[in-house]
Amino acid sequence: MTEAFGTRLSAAVARYGPLCVGIDPHASLLASWGLPDDVSGLERFAATSVEALAGQVAVVKPQSAFFERHGAAGVAVLERTIRDARDAGLLVLLDVKRGDIGSTAQAYADAYLDAASPMQADAVTVSPYLGFGSLEPFLTSAERNGGGVFVLALTSNPEGPEVQHARVGERSVAGVMLDHLRARNADASPQGSYGAVVGATVGELEEDVAINGPLLVPGFGAQGGTVEDLRRLFGHVWDHVVPASSRGVLAAGPDVRALRAAAAATADQLR
């Protein structure tokens, strides 16, 4: 069986530090790199990002939507980007935020987590708001293939609290999701493979995020989250924190050396 994602992630973070860089080829970044907003620009952007980040960071996080918006050709670039990044030794966390039920959820899991899929990533993001049980196909496929699953819990967008802070008896919805993850990761060492997404800009953290699994923390860098925010919110679980930045690093492109320098400088802030 493939080594568990939680184990592989811990090893990569020990070697390169916890930084995760998002590969988000939205139109404004393509333009700032002097690239056309088409498939050729997408290909150049993705390939340059992988070249620059390999050997510099532990994890890259392609945002699927920015590839999908270019149609089938864009999805082909995403497939190639996942393969090239993994071949270069990067862990690939595919940001797809999928959430469905039954056979449809299983089909998504087959697409992104199964070893037989040409789009297999190391981990994916998922939405639990059809009920945590709806995620079972993702969790089972991840366990079978050595993959990881990151579940939306306390996101940084201002609309999130109306669902995530809603109460289920004495618990918030987010708290219930974290409880499920804690149970799934019980007894795993050095950490489990089932993580939570918790934003760096949530303000105050009222839920227990010690889930013995990784915490993907978007919102660090250009979105306003600072190292001080990370220390204040997550200092007690620092060994599990994976801060994510996209524009804060990618704005340095398209020069490969400049991108590497930006990634190194951001990683140094987190050490």
| Active site residues per annotation | 97
Distance CA 61, CA 94 (A): 5
Phi, psi values for residue 77, rounded to 5°: -65, -40
Q: What is the DSSP letter of 3?
A: P
C-alpha span between 197 and 213 (Å, rounded):
11
Residue 124, both tokens: 């994916």
- Environment class of residue 264 by beta-carbon count within 10 Å: exposed (0-12), middle (13-18) or buried (19+)? middle
The distance of Cα 33 from the centroid of its chain, to the nearest Å, equals 23
Q: Look at residues 247, 197, 195, 199 and name the one whose alpha carbon lies nearest to residue 221.
A: 247
Evaluate the CA torsion angle 145, 148, 152, 153 in order and state its sign: positive
Closest to 195 measured CA to CA, from 126, 107, 111: 126
Q: Find, among 59, 62, 55, 57, the residue nearest to 23 by Cα.
A: 62
Question: Where do we find the tokens 């227990």?
Answer: 208
8 A C-beta contact, residue 23 and residue 63: yes
Q: Closest Cα partner for 22 from 199, 247, 193?
A: 247
Residue showing tokens 């960071």: 57
